[in-house]
Every structure is written in structure tokens, then in C-alpha cells.
Structure 1
Amino acid sequence: MDTLYLSLLTRDQVDAAVALDRQCLGGLWTEDGYLREIDSPNSTLLALTAAAADGETSLAGLGCLWMILDEAHITTLAVHPAQRGRGLGQLLLTALMQAAWQHQMHWATLEVRASNRAAIALYQKFGFTDVGLRPRYYQNPEEDALILWRRGLQEPDFSDTLRQWWGWVGDRHRQHGWNLIPAQSPTQEEAGDLGFSAIPLDIGIFS
């Protein structure tokens, strides 16, 4: 069984992050850009590291959000092409939304290419709605961006929504044989491999 490690991106992982960025996002951020995100108190930059049974590790995905007043702006969500179709985007989005919730953000926003139907479907599954358009927002190739928005992160029932999302993540990863370990989680021992009967709503990396 392969293992996934969910953690904050470290400086040692920046080269791998830049390479993944170029592959998935067309070079959105440079090395200096990632270092600034790591150092920023208003940014949460997550890394999803895959470790194979033989001990080889690789950066499987990235997710980043900015905290602006009471808004969580999701700036980056990328999954290595070889790892797609296994629910890793869903995992990263769940973790980012949990980070936003734990930091007392009230809503979340993001941009997505208008042609990226798979990503749009994922965001809609998580309750995001289309609220606008940024013409010619993306380059290489030039394309409009849809602006998506999700409210209610501090509503009383949002923790139940997070539990539901972690349940979805658990279902996907059982299907694909992953074992998920959230770094620095105070409930990790209780949760075991999370089998997702125990939900990591107090993962230490977000506090």
C-alpha cells in the first residue's frame, strides 16, 4: 500500500514544487514565489507527498490558499498527471477548506479555466457556485476564468460538511489503496490510517 503524507510545503520541497507547477500550471510561481508563500503568515501552502512501498517519494500534489480578512482565496490546486483520477484533488480541496474553516474564514473563492470541466465539477461538488468571469485571465493558452465562490464556512453545520467530505476522501483512497497520514496531527494515533471513521478536524498543520 502506498502512503500519502499531507503537510505544509517545506523549503526542501520547493524545487519539486516549481517542477510540478511548470508541469501543471504553466509556471505560475517561481522558486522565490514559493518561498514567499512558505514565509507568509497569511498563506497556507500544502504538499501531498506520495511514498511507494520501496521508499521512493515524490510530490503528488500542491494546494495553496491566501487568507484575506475573512475570505479564503484558493490560489493553487495541482495534482501530478501520473496521480490523477485517484481523488487527490478532492483530498487537497478538503484540506484547504478545513484550513480556511480553522482560520475562521467565512467564505472561499477561486478562479478556474472556463474549459476545465473536471475541475469545475469538483468545485461544484463542494458547493462552489459561479459568480463571475475574468476575461482573458489565463495565458498560454489565453482563456477566460470563471470566478467561483462558496459561502457558509462558519455556519454551525460546516463541521458536519467537512466530515462528509473527509468521508468522500476516505472512500476514494480505500478504492486506490492509499494510506493517508496528516503530519503533526494530535489525533493521528486515534485515527490510525484515518480509515476515515475518525475525521481529522483538528489536524495540527492548520492551527
Structure 2
Amino acid sequence: MYSEIGDLTPGQFHRFAQFIYARSNINLKEQKITLLSNRLRKRLMALNLKSFDEYFDLISGPGGKQELVHFLEVVTTNETYFWRTTANFTMLREEILPDLLRRFPGQKLQFWSAGCSTGEEPYNIAIELVEGMKRTGVFDFQIVATDLSARVLDFAREARYAGRKIDKIPEPVLRRYFRPDTEKAGYYRVRDDIRERV
């Protein structure tokens, strides 16, 4: 039955996109119509609903608050991993950090990782900042990491990663800032002193 439900129509997509933007400030482009359709189809199946319109009525109605949480998780979940945007981290290390330390000497630096997903970005930033201390001297910093999804924030707090999530971490960095996880074979856990900065 659910395989018979096609993609969202442009009108349905626009309605969902406006709804998403109003609640999360995420601007979905029409190229994402198939992706959103596939993700919503799974929710239709889980709830035994027959149409996208029926699902929209649920999440936008007074009785849909709990499903709204699931909906936002489905919409905002993306693949993320360490060292995904190396150019950004190079810029942080070589340009942004020295500039901040010049402009705010002796002050605690604060960073915000909005939409942090499962934590790779904020931990990656923390590692780069600690590495930066080798060149600039010691400074204090804190990273605030937020996401719409409570589920991914729980994952981020655990700071346990394996497989593709850690494949791009340079080996010396992996040895220096991660420890083999004693509870999960094949996993690495971010060092406590790095986790405390996030």
C-alpha cells in the first residue's frame, strides 16, 4: 500500500516546507521532494496513515505534538562525520582563532554549533581549538551544541563513534583525542577533557 503512494505533489511539498521553516528555520528546496517523500512514507507506515495530507493534519493539529518530534527528527537527520569539511577547520585554526585571540585577549571564547546532529562538528571544533593552543598558548573556550532532535543530542553526549564517522580522522588525531571504547567493540570515545568543553 505504501509503495503505491507516490512523491509529494508540489503543493503538498510547499505546505510541508512552510511548516518546517516555521518550526525549525530550515529552508527545504524543491530538489528535496523525493527525499522528504521517502522519509514521510516511513512515518505513514509506522502510523498506519493513508496519505501525506492525513499526516500533515496530524502534525499540525492539537493532538500531534508527540508526532511532531518524530517529524522534525526525520526532516533534520543528515549524515555527518568527523573532518567532513576540512577547509572550514583549516580556516578556524589559521585565520579565525588567531583573530579572536587578538580581539578578545584573556577572554573565554564561546562557540555555538547549531544543528550539531550527533556531535561530530562540536567535538571536531574542540579538537581544533585544543590543537590551536600549541601555536597560540593556552586560552579558555566553551562550545554550546544544539539540535532540534533530542535523540541525536543523546547520541552526541555519549560521544561514541565508529566506522564511516571516524574514517577521515587523521591517525595521530584519533590516537591523541579518542580512546577505544571499553563498552562497545570497534568504537572510539572522545576523550573526557574534550567532551567537557562541549
TM-score in terms of structure 2 length: 0.28
Q: Which has the higher helix share?
A: 2
Q: Which has the higher strand share?
A: 1
